[in-house]
Chains A and B, each alone.
Chain A
Amino acid sequence: MRALNNQIMGLVQNETEKMIKKKRFYVVLLVLLVLVPVFSYAQMKQAESKREKYGTDWRREVQQAITDNQNSLGSDRVPEEWKKYRQVYIQQMKYYLEHNVNPAAPGGVTFTREFLDNAATLFIPLLIMGLGSDIVSAERTTGTIKMLLTRPVRRWKILLSKLITLLMFVSLTVLAVFVICYLISGMFFGYKGFQLPVFTGFRLDGASVDLSSVHAVPQWKYLFMQAGLVWYVGVVVAILALMVSVLVRSTAASIIIMMSSLIAGNILTNMASAWTSAKYLFMVNLGLTDYLAGTPVPIEGMSLGFSLIVLGIWAACSLIVSFLVFTKQDILN
């Protein structure tokens, strides 16, 4: 048993060093270091123009947002699904006003929270996909797979070590997103805000909001929960990327497959979903943080438990496929 552990540890170390040598993770960090300041700057400009209109008086701003949304509810041109979003939004904002809590107090922590809500379904999965898509196929493209497989190691151990390495980097990526986001946006908005309350627990029943289980959590706890949910999404995406990487020979093809399915998910969730069985697709279920924020689900009948199970089943199936194919397939070329 110990020997087995050591062998796998060795393989994981080997894979980790390969991953670092490929500099893929540095690319992820670089992307964050470039993009987060861009977003922060844009957000700051927006905040400045708001401050011109509302000063520091967030209550007026929230009330105006409520009134504007109420006005759009009366319009027949607004699709029913959007109205549902807005009705929920109105009720949540009223709740914030009633409890005298600013839903978006400016600060690095708030920025991080909002950025993560937006990044959870596409940006972070794309980063993780970038790490995972070529983890097997690259060895094929370069021919090193033969060297790897001629070593006296069982094939499943090789794939397992790749999987473990990938999961390690998923955690590192999620952590890096949070840390970089906070550090950089803090330069623009200040580093405070960990103790500010955020409301969670809005239960949606169609367009009405059940407030009975709403409770305030300090923002740091909210970030903690968000990170956990984003991590779960990341793990599932990584496992799927691994499968595609096993199945498809070319790295380019595997990146295209993963990317298009992620983007398809974003498009599907934005469409009026009369097609209810779309909820069994993994890419529709990536918005786990929405359950925390209490935004309406894209398709009727979805809940956190449902999404977790759907994602879990997809991950389990792709693990089985990955290992079966990788251990059985012939390496030609």
Chain B
Amino acid sequence: MGKGSRVWKITGVVSVAATLMLVCGFAYAVSDVIFPVPPDTGSAGLENAASDERQVAPGNMDVTAVGDSLAKGTGDDTGSGFARAVSELLQKQGVDSKLVNNLGINGLTTSGVLPMLDEDGVQYALRQAGVIILSIGANDLFAGADQMTGLPDEDQLLNKMKQAEERFVKIVEEIRKINSEAQLVYVMLYNPFSDLEEVREQGNRIVQEWNQFAAAVMASTGQGLAIPTSDLFTFNAGRYLAEDHFHPNRDGYQAIAERIVQALAVTTVSGEERK
């Protein structure tokens, strides 16, 4: 009986103590969920580290991509898009580079980017980068258009383009405010309908006009670059476009990435200027 009663005593005492504790936890949880304590405004202690110290080190070549499905890499079967490809190409050249974040979102328009730039996480990712790749505008101009319906009528389009241009200027300004050091690369538009005769002409005109405007904006921005892509797809749409006839495929993204890397100001790990 001696041993049995000792086990019983231990079990009894521990289980009663555990039960009391658990009942308290239960009561506390119920009251906290059903009658939550109003948030303590004085608990700003959490936030003081938010204004992040780390400025971009000179020579930092880490990549953040922001924008639409092209930034995301839609159509690339490996999922890398040009953002990861740029970072990998830089690594091959002996440059220390990583992909910070790929913030591309399918279907994003210029009006979708602006509120994004207010978010802490997005700002953080942009601040960490030495190379920011922006791809935006295609969804503003070609939204709702596909191979079947063609493009909307001219006046409507010009109007749309005016508004998109204003927002584009604002986007570039915002990004510059967040990170003034990084090289800002804008991937210019191409005409996704170049393999369709009926709409090729109109598409070309719109793309040309937009690209001219964007190139001017980037030229007047410090550390700004505008990378042309439309020539890649003029005769090689079959080679560079994915099955959806809209997004680039793996080779298309690789070709764009190579152009970006060619245009970037690069310093090697040792800090020497490249020849």
Q: Which of chain B's residues has its CB closest to A75's CB? A: B106
- Tell yes or no: A17 within 8 A of B by CB: yes
Q: Whole-angstrom distance between the alpha carbons of A97 and B46 in the complex?
A: 11
- Tell yes or no: B2 within 8 A of A by CB: no
B121 in contact with A100 (CB, 8 Å): no
- Tell yes or no: A169 within 8 A of B by CB: yes
- Interface segment among A32-40, A62-70, A268-276: the answer is A62-70
Q: Whole-angstrom distance between the alpha carbons of A71 and B65 in the complex?
A: 14
Interface centre among B101, B106, B107, B125 (most CB of A within 10 A): B101
- Tell yes or no: B53 within 8 A of A by CB: no
Tell me whether A216 and B26 are in contact in the complex, defined as CB-CB below 8 angstroms, given that A63-B121, A171-B19, A200-B32 are known contacts. Answer: no
- Tell yes or no: A194 within 8 A of B by CB: no
A224 in contact with B25 (CB, 8 Å): yes
B101 in contact with A60 (CB, 8 Å): yes
B26 in contact with A229 (CB, 8 Å): yes
Q: How far is the CB of B71 from chain A (nearest CB, A)?
A: 10
Tell me whether A225 and B32 are in contact in the complex, defined as CB-CB below 8 angstroms, given that A71-B105, A97-B121, A171-B15 are known contacts. Answer: yes
- Tell yes or no: B173 within 8 A of A by CB: no
- Tell yes or no: A24 within 8 A of B by CB: no
Q: Which of chain A's residues has its CB closest to B122's CB? A: A63
A308 in contact with B30 (CB, 8 Å): yes
- Tell me the count of chain B residues lying within 8 A, CB to CB, of chain A: 50
Chain B residue numbers with a CB within 8 Å of A304 are: 30, 33-34
Tell me whether A67 and B11 are in contact in the complex, defined as CB-CB below 8 angstroms, given that A174-B18, A215-B40 are known contacts. Answer: no
B22 in contact with A213 (CB, 8 Å): no
Chain A residue numbers with a CB within 8 Å of B7 are: 16-17, 20
Chain A interface size, under 10 / 10 to 19 / 20 to 34 / 35 or more: 35 or more
Q: Whole-angstrom distance between the alpha carbons of A31 and B28 in the complex?
A: 30
Q: Which of chain A's residues has its CB closest to B26's CB? A: A228
- Tell yes or no: B72 within 8 A of A by CB: yes
B104 in contact with A231 (CB, 8 Å): no
Partner of B72, one of A16, A60, A71, A93: A71
B128 in contact with A60 (CB, 8 Å): yes
Q: Whole-angstrom distance between the alpha carbons of A63 and B38 in the complex?
A: 27
- Tell yes or no: B120 within 8 A of A by CB: yes
Chain B residue numbers with a CB within 8 Å of A225 are: 25, 28-29, 32
- Tell yes or no: A191 within 8 A of B by CB: no
Q: Whole-angstrom distance between the alpha carbons of A16 and B15 in the complex?
A: 11
- Tell yes or no: A292 within 8 A of B by CB: yes
Q: Mark A199-210, 1 if CB is under 8 A from B, else 0.
A: 011000000000
Chain B residue numbers with a CB within 8 Å of A171 are: 15, 18-19, 22
A63 in contact with B18 (CB, 8 Å): no
Q: How far is the CB of B31 from chain A (nearest CB, A)?
A: 10
Extra contacts, 9 of them, besides A167-B19, A171-B22, A213-B38 (Cβ < 8 A), are A16-B11, A59-B124, A70-B105, A74-B105, A94-B120, A100-B49, A168-B12, A224-B24, A226-B25
Residues of A within 8 A of B (CB): 12-13, 16-17, 20, 57, 59-60, 62-64, 66-67, 70-71, 74-75, 93-94, 97-101, 167-169, 171-172, 174-175, 197, 200-201, 212-217, 221, 224-229, 231-232, 291-292, 304-305, 308
Some 9 contacts from A to B, beta carbons below 8 A apart, are A16-B7, A59-B121, A66-B121, A94-B119, A98-B120, A168-B12, A175-B14, A226-B29, A229-B25
